[in-house]
């Protein structure tokens, strides 16, 4: 009985594990950053969520950012700026 070799065309996924950020303990006083990827209605969704969250929590600051292109990753400079000036971030929309 001669077995026949068969082959997998998919290749492996090599991903060096990344840990998530330490979680926030509370939201009061934190700086909130919103990143809008400019897809249709992302801005309405983000602004609506922002307003409700800001009513509930006394954020230290609220900052709104927009990507250049909805499809490409945000420019590294933009991400650094967001990280430097905010404590929690909200992004939209993956659709």
* Helix, coil or strand: residue 58: coil
Q: Of the candidates 42, 41, 51, 33, which has an alpha carbon nearest to the alpha carbon of residue 92?
A: 42
User: Residue 64 or residue 74: which is nearer to another protein going by CB?
Assistant: 74
CB of 31 to another protein, least distance (A): 10
Paired tokens of 6: 């068969």
CB of 28 to another protein, least distance (A): 12
User: Residue 62 or residue 90: which is nearer to another protein going by CB?
Assistant: 90
Q: How far is CA 27 from each of CA 24, 48, 79, rounded to the nearest angstrom?
A: 7, 18, 21
Which residues of the shown chain bind another protein in the complex (CB under 8 A)?
A: 1-25, 27, 33, 35, 37-42, 44-45, 48-49, 52-53, 67, 69-74, 79-80, 82-83, 86-95
């Amino acid at each position: 009985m001669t077995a026949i070799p068969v082959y997998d065309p998919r290749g492996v996924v090599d991903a060096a594990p990344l840990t998530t950020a330490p979680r926030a303990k509370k939201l009061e006083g934190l700086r909130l950053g919103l990143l809008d990827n400019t897809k249709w209605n992302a801005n309405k969704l983000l602004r609506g969520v922002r307003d409700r969250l800001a009513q509930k929590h006394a954020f230290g600051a609220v900052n709104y950012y927009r990507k250049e292109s909805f499809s490409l990753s945000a420019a590294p400079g933009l991400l650094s700026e967001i990280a430097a000036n905010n404590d929690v971030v909200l992004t939209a929309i993956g659709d």
